[in-house]
Amino acid sequence: MIKIQKFTFNPFQENTYLLFDETKECIIIDPGCYEKAEQDLLKTFVKENKLKPVKLINTHCHIDHVLGNKF
């Protein structure tokens, strides 16, 4: 069963989603995490749930959706 975790990041209040299942592989959608605290929150969730990011998807290229791509 696919699980969805939602985070709201950056001053634009952009929604970032992680999709994952029992394989522990995850997809990160619109990683808007810009500040270190936001990056740490996402990183901690991935680590605590033993997830393995395998894809990064941007729904579109507005700045608030791509701020965390490099991270």
Report the pLDDT value the prediction gives residue 54, as an integer from 0 to 100: 98
Pairing type for strands 25-29 and 52-57 reads: parallel
Taking residues 10-37, what's their average pLDDT? 96
* pLDDT more than 90, % of the chain: 85
Q: What are 25-52's pLDDT values in tens digits?
A: 999 999 999 899 999 999 999 999 999 9
Report the pLDDT value the prediction gives residue 15, as an integer from 0 to 100: 96
* Alpha carbon distance 36, 9 (integer Å): 11
Report the pLDDT value the prediction gives residue 31, as an integer from 0 to 100: 94
pLDDT at 71 > cutoff 80 = no
